[in-house]
Structure 1
Amino acid sequence: MRRQQTRVLAGAIALAAVAGLTACGEDGNSGGSGGGGGQIELTIGTFTEFGYEDLLPEYERLHPNIKITHHKTGQGGPYHQQLLTKLAAGSGLEDVVAIEEGHLPDVIDKPQLFNNLADIGPKDVKPDRWLDWKYQAGTAKDGTWIGYGTDIGPLAMCYRKDLFAKAGLPSDPEAVKPLFESWDSYFAAGDKYVKATGKAWFDSDSQIFNSMQNQLETGYLNKDDELVIESNPDIKKNWDQVTAAGKRGQTAKLVAFSPEWNNGFKVGAFATKTCPSWMLGVVTEQAGPANAGKWAVTDAFPGGGGNWGGSYLAVPKQSQHPKEAAALAAWLTAPEQQIKAFQKTGNFPSQVEALSSPELAATTNEYFGNVKTGVLFAAQAQKVGQAQYKGPGDGQIQENATSPALQAVEQGKSADEGWQQAVDAAERIAG
């Protein structure tokens, strides 16, 4: 799922009327039936594309006593701004709300505002349904299971085969793996590419730095929610390595998802791209038919693996039908439905059973040379280790502190000046 978001205010999401009698089914599996046989109305809020347009009517057919109203917002930034506003107000939220992993740190420290899915969810829905790191990331420090995992964005590396060949680099997906074995080997290959072509190796410093940052055990805050941007030497080490490579000409200095960045795929402005599973759709759309077959993806990523993207479905305490809402969220995130959503929108499953399904294994991508993307990204998902701890404001620090500072370095600031800009901004955000 595409996850580049801006924090801008949007108009309020309309709240559907909640009517009907509260169901009392003990395990929440069926959605229950009201004491008087009335229909239960549930609301669900999502953003961008979750692939639920066909699934929600299917659920209604399977549960005739349930009526679902779907509130869908086009952009994730405005959606999450409204989510936080409604959480603070204590009113206006849907029965089921989607939370993107980049915004999860903004709510994971507020478990009292959400139902514990371990208590209200269907009894047969256990944590081992998901990849362990996906489940762990949706659980608060006090043990509250806040969200059922939807999709994930396991990372691989995309690259231009033709540009590699012109630079004298190997271009076969198997042969390029040593180039992407570590960040040292990645930047070393970048130096060779820049020397041979005079062109950029990657799109921007921030895209590479964010990938490196997400591989650390903790994010910008430790498990006591203390800012560690200065005290964790690995963060500064990554900063120095990325900015040094950028100064050597490896960065194209393009802001992700800007018109210039989009056009960069068409004109070969950079030779490599950090590629979560959903990025293949972005590359295909932006590079266009003229570049079909030129882009390749390999099941290698510097540092072993990583994740970029994915969401959760949570049930706020505001819900008048928490068990029925949890049953709906559990059904939407079940392996069968995750496969259906993947086939519709490309959102990669987080369910263990779904990752080994024949449907996923059979998935190929013609634009990338008929590579077996289902198998490739399932393998990459298994390489992700323990879930990184992201404290409150982690996503804001990435978006409003480190990324702008890295852009400033690309525009002429020294790496040290940019670092101080990032630290100062992070301190303001962390309070």
Structure 2
Amino acid sequence: MRRQQTRVLAGAFALVAVAGLSACGDEGSSGGSSGDGGQVELTIGTFTEFGYEDLLTEYERLNPNVKITHHKTGEGGPYHEQLLTKLAANSGLEDVVAIEEGHFPDIADKPQLFNDLADIGPKDAKPDRWLDWKYKAGTAKDGTWIGYGTDIGPLAMCYRKDLFEAAGLPSDPEAVKPLFESWDSYFAAGDKYVKATKKAWFDSNSQIFNAMQNQLDEGYLNEDDELAIESNQDIRENWDQVTAAGKRGQTAGLVAFSPEWNTGFKQGAFATKTCPSWMLGVVKEQAGPANAGKWAVTDAFPGGGGNWGGSFLAVPKQSQHPKEAAELAAWLTAPEQQIKAFQKTGNFPSQVEALSSPELLESTNDYFGDVKTGELFAAMAEKVGEPQYKGAGDGQIQENATSPALQAVEQGKSADEGWQQAVDAAKKIVG
């Protein structure tokens, strides 16, 4: 799960008060209407932190005929396992369900089980509310609009200024941009860093490889849902480039979100980190007060940009109140509410209007030197290209095939042996 372990920490990213935006429908809302004026009871299922508690109370105030029950699960993994089980049983699902982007391919493979939001949603909830790539990422291959986009995780690069300086590398956020212009320049800088310090440049092979993989036009599966890990030469080239850099000493070999990885932030075990917007909260939490001001973030990323994280709100066919459920989902993902969720948890907005709001653009982060993080990540969100097609099993390949194989290479396997391990595991998943 690309983000399930990190939402709890994301709140540290929202460091300014976001004030004054009026809620959608403050002058009265058509949301939640039952058609006969009676009470409507809706349920919504989410995991970790979406920042919806206060918003759901506000929605009930704006719509007195609506009563909402919120089912919140602590971890994304168990939540999505239960979601798939309930879909298969055609029973027990909430009226509105959250779906994390890493699990979305397994959901999008079953569009017949969801309402098409283009048909049941409010007329003002049009696709152009969202960044184009976020809207497209919430649709199934047959065109069904399954999910309204919630947050996103546009990628930038975080780095340790003091470690760069010790290695003779530039440390100013503008001066380091050429180092992060491409993957070639990134790994070349890594070689200089390792030579000067004898320390690792990045945290793990898999964290870098996953970012490179998500930038490709075609991923692990093609649009015919055929396994493409062997036929797509770009995947193998990325594999070779990452594992070669790791063999030259650039990887710290730390599994993301493990205790050792957490400690690595405090100990300066690596000098750079692929940083979606929510990662700033993770860095601050794990690196701690002693490293305040040592970490920096710049609006540059090898290959141009990318996204890691974010979710969608969908309305299953099981819902007894699909129209009212869609109205609630549309309201929760409207610009005003996305800004409020950002204020509460740091979840970065995906709505175009929210991304241009002064409240977001003027937000700063003192841990990273008072950089305007809202403005920075809004700019990086615009750099994300067309969403890569991800067929059912894509996330499982990343978690259970390529990532373990890359770790095996860090532990001594050759790049070729690791590649074969990844291919064999991917075939079992898809087969």
Aligned-pair distance for 1:218?
2.1
**Cα distance per residue 1:290-320 (max 9 Å; x no partner):** 0000000000000000000000000000000
Q: CA deviation at 1:52?
A: 0.3
Match of 2:92 in 1: 92
How far apart in 2 are the matches of 1:33 and 1:117?
A: 18
**2:33 matches 1:32:** yes
Tell whether the 8 Å contact from 2:246 to 2:410 is kept in structure 1 after alignment.
Answer: yes
Partner of 2:345: 345
CA contact (8 A) 1:29 1:122 kept: no
Contact (CA 8 Å) 1:364, 1:373: kept in 2 or not? Answer: yes
The superposition leaves residues 250-285 of structure 1 with CA deviations (integer Å, 9 ceiling, x where unpaired) of: 000000000000000000000000000000000000
Q: Which residue of 1 aligns with 2:265?
A: 265
Counterpart in the other structure of 1:166: 166
Aligned partner of 1:12 in structure 2 is: none
Identity of aligned residues (%): 88
Alignment: residue pair count:
409
Tell me the residue number matched to 1:404. Answer: 404
Aligned AA (1:356):
S
**Structure 1: how far apart are the matches of 2:406 and 2:55?**
41
- Say whether the 8 Å CA contact 1:156–1:305 is kept in structure 2: yes
Cα displacement string for residues 391-419 of structure 1 (whole angstroms, at most 9, x for unaligned residues): 11000000000000000000000000000
Which structure 2 residue ranges, 5 or more long, are not aligned? 7-28
Asked if 1:144 is matched to 2:150, the reply is no
SS of match in other structure, 2:305? coil
Q: Does 1:62 find its partner at 2:62?
A: yes
Per-residue CA distance 1:142-186 (angstroms, 9 max, x = gap): 111000000000000000000000000000000000000000000
- Larger deviation: 322-331 or 37-46? 37-46
Give the 3-state SS of the residue equivalent to 2:308 in structure 1: strand
TM-score, scaled relative to structure 1 = 0.94
Aligned counterpart, 2:392: 392
Cα distance in 1 between the residues matched to 2:387 and 2:417: 31
Letter in 2 for 1:32: S
Q: Determine if contact 2:134/2:149 at 8 Å carries over to the other structure.
A: yes
Across the aligned residues of Structure 1 and Structure 2, the Cα RMSD in angstroms comes to 1.2
CA distance in structure 1 between the partners assigned to 2:295 and 2:31 by the alignment:
46
Structure 1 regions of 5+ residues with no counterpart?
A: 7-27
Structure 1 Cα separation of the partners of residues 363 and 73 of structure 2: 29
**Separation of aligned partners in 2, 1:167 and 1:253:** 20
Cα 1:80/1:118, change in 2 over 3 Å: same
| Residue identity matched to 2:328 | L
Distance 2:159 2:68 in 1: 42
Distance 1:146 1:51 in 2: 21
* 2:105 corresponds to: 105
Supply the AA of the counterpart residue of 1:31: G
Alignment of 1:186-225 (within 5 A): 186-225=186-225
State the Cα distance separating 1:31 from its structure 2 match: 1.6
CA distance in 2, matches of 1:154, 1:215: 12
SS in 2 for 1:249: coil
Using the alignment, how far apart are the partners of 2:67 and 2:339 within structure 1?
Answer: 23
Amino acid aligned to 1:107: I
What is the letter of the counterpart of residue 105 of structure 1?
A: P
Kindly indicate whether structure 1 or structure 2 has the higher relative contact order, using CA contacts under 8 Å at least 6 residues apart: 2
Contact 2:164 2:170 (8 Å CA) reproduced: yes
Q: Is the Cα contact below 8 Å between 1:2 and 1:278 reproduced in 2?
A: no
- Residue deviations 1:122-158 (CA, integer Å, cap 9, x gap): 0111000000000001111111100000000000000
Tell me the amino acid that sits aligned with residue 3 of structure 1: R
Residue 388 of structure 1 aligns to a residue whose secondary structure is coil
Say if 1:220 and 1:390, in contact at 8 Å, map to a contact too: yes
Please state whether the residue corresponding to 1:367 is helix, strand or coil: helix
Q: Report deviation, 1:34.
A: 5.0
2:81 maps to what in 1?
Answer: 81
The answer to whether the Cα contact below 8 Å between 2:156 and 2:300 also exists between their aligned partners in 1 is yes
Cα distance in 2 for partners of 1:29, 1:335 equals 17
Deviation, 1:217, is 1.1
Q: Provide the rounded CA distance (Å) in 1 between the counterparts of 2:143 and 2:40.
A: 30
**Alignment CA distance shift 1:405-1:101 (3 Å):** same
2:241 aligned with 1:252:
no
* Distance in 1 separating the partners of 2:328 and 2:4: 27
TM-score by length of 2: 0.94
CA pair 359-309 structure 1, distance change in 2 beyond 3 A:
same
Provide the residue aligned with 2:132 in structure 1: 132
